[in-house]
């Protein structure tokens, strides 16, 4: 894990709030935002929510590779938020004119998850209330929600409200949460390519581009899986980059227990540094057994549907690191709660980033604000995470890091002319 050395001035300054501020930001986001710039909460702009709307964009008008927009054969979800060729962007606007946005999924890979009714829910829940009430608006702390799993509606609302808070005080979200670092080392995270040769060619390209690590999402022959082919891919990729390059693998929960052991033994002999979601998430017994049989660390959690589902996995030793998708756990707020939970168990937290610029952004802010994170998951090929209506792009620097955004809120600015060009309707 990289070391961060702050000067005394940096430590006391607004841009380095520290761990205490990070905890208080979850308890009272608006107060933390105000204190970050040395003002009182009463001096914030009027953060009363006056409008909720959804931009419907025609994806077919947008340039860019379609593969990243249609998910994968192994359940990565409808990553481009496509509704029959339409992309939907959630928008919450305050009386002071500040707009927070986030991409709306149609349905993600989890049984209690759909955003089809988001607009009506968000209008009923948010209009007339203040962004200062962020926790009250999105909290899951009622028995019915804890029992059923996190509402997906709350996740998009939460991300929009954090975007507004950052813009209100002129800071990127991670600085309100409590900046721990200002850059994160990236690993290249693949599509599910069809052949071994595609992975070998790509890992060579990624290494030449400056990536220091590479994660394999193995092939899905005929919509299924072949663990022997996955082992062959893992071996070929290792041979292509040599013994010192960092490698990981994520089969997305498709193996049987026996298959998971065989693949795990192969990759640990090859020096892979983690094994993500080898078994279905609900197979806690299998995960515990697998962890006892292997030395390569297990990473899991991104398909859990609530922050309240994680403790059993941690207590029983079913994982070595905690993963999450903000859409599944209540947004940035839920993600940071899980990061703190993992830290209390002395575990690494490794958020899922795979997807486009919005998904990169929300998880990146969490990573920048937590001490127990090592990696940024960068979707490859480079540029496949870009959105034509977002000005800023995710790229690695010469040392293989992704540097923190400097713009306020989510930090990745909307190109209003482009948004207007691709918008076919605005639902209110």
Structural domains in the chain, sorted by start: 11-172+415-427 (3.30.390.10), 177-403 (3.20.20.120)
DSSP code of residue 405:
P
Which residue in this structure is represented by tokens 């937590």? 370
In whole angstroms, give the CA distance from residue 328 to residue 334.
Answer: 9
For residue range 111-132, what is the model confidence (pLDDT) as tens digits? Answer: 566 788 999 999 999 999 999 9
How much is the average pLDDT of 168-179? 97
**If you average pLDDT over every residue of the chain, what do you get?**
89
With beta carbons less than 8 A apart as the criterion, state whether 131 and 94 touch. yes
Which residue in this structure is represented by tokens 């010469």? 398
Lowest mean pLDDT among 34-48, 118-132, 270-284, 411-425: 34-48
In whole angstroms, give the CA distance from residue 207 to residue 211.
Answer: 5
**pLDDT exceeds 90 at position 414:** yes
With beta carbons less than 8 A apart as the criterion, state whether 417 and 45 touch. no
Phi first, then psi: what are they for 424, rounded to 5°?
A: -105, -20
Calculate the alpha carbon distances from 139 to 27, 142, 158 in Å. 11, 8, 9
How much is the average pLDDT of 323-329? 94
DSSP code of residue 59:
G
Tell me the H-state helices in 90-226.
118-126, 134-138, 143-148, 152-169, 173-177, 196-209
In percent, the amount of the chain with pLDDT more than 70 equals 88
In whole angstroms, give the CA distance from residue 121 to residue 127.
Answer: 10
Tokens representing residue 110 in the block? 């989890």
For residue range 124-159, what is the model confidence (pLDDT) as tens digits? Answer: 999 999 999 998 898 888 887 777 778 889 999 999
**pLDDT exceeds 60 at position 76:** no
- pTM, entire model: 0.91
With beta carbons less than 8 A apart as the criterion, state whether 80 and 68 touch. yes
Length of the chain equals: 428
At a CB cut-off of 8 Å and minimum separation 6, what does 165 contact? 29, 30, 33, 47, 131, 134, 173, 176, 409
């Amino acid at each position: 894990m990289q070391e961060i050395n702050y000067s005394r001035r940096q430590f006391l300054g607004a841009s380095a709030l520290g761990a205490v501020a990070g905890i208080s930001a979850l308890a009272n986001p608006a107060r933390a935002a105000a204190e970050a710039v040395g003002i009182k909460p009463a001096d914030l702009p009027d953060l009363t929510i006056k409008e909720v709307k959804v931009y419907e964009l025609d994806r077919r008008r947008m340039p860019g590779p379609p593969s990243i927009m249609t998910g994968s054969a192994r359940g990565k979800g409808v990553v481009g938020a496509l509704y029959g060729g339409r992309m939907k962007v959630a928008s919450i606007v305050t009386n002071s004119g500040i707009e927070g946005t986030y991409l709306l999924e149609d349905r993600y890979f989890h049984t209690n998850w759909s955003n089809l009714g988001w607009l009506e829910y968000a209008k009923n829940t948010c209009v007339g209330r203040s962004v200062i009430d962020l926790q009250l608006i999105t909290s899951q702390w009622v028995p019915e929600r804890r029992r059923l799993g996190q509402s997906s509606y709350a996740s998009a609302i939460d991300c929009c409200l954090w975007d507004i808070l950052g813009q209100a005080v002129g800071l990127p979200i991670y600085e309100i949460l409590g900046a721990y670092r200002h850059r994160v080392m990236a690993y290249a995270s693949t599509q599910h390519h069809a052949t071994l040769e595609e992975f070998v060619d790509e890992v060579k390209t990624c290494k030449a581009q400056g990536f220091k690590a590479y994660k394999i999402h193995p092939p899905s022959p005929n919509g299924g899986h072949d663990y022997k082919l996955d082992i062959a891919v893992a071996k070929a990729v290792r041979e292509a980059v040599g013994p010192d390059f960092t490698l990981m693998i994520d089969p997305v929960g498709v193996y049987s227990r026996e298959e998971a052991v065989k693949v795990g033994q192969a990759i640990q002999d090859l020096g892979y540094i983690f094994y993500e979601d080898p078994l279905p998430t609900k197979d806690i017994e299998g995960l515990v057994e697998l962890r006892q049989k292997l030395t390569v660390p297990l990473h899991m959690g991104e398909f859990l549907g609530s922050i309240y589902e994680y403790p059993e996995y941690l207590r029983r030793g079913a994982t070595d690191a905690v993963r999450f998708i903000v859409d599944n756990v209540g947004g940035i707020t839920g993600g940071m709660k899980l990061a703190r939970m993992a830290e209390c168990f002395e575990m690494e937290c490794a958020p899922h980033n795979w997807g486009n610029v919005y998904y990169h952004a929300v998880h990146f802010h969490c990573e920048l604000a937590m001490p127990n994170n090592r990696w940024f998951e960068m979707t490859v090929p480079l540029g496949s995470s870009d959105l034509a209506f977002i000005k800023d792009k995710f790229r690695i620097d010469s040392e293989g890091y992704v540097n923190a955004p400097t713009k306020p809120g989510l930090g990745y600015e909307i190109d209003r002319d482009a948004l207007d060009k691709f918008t076919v309707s605005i639902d209110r």
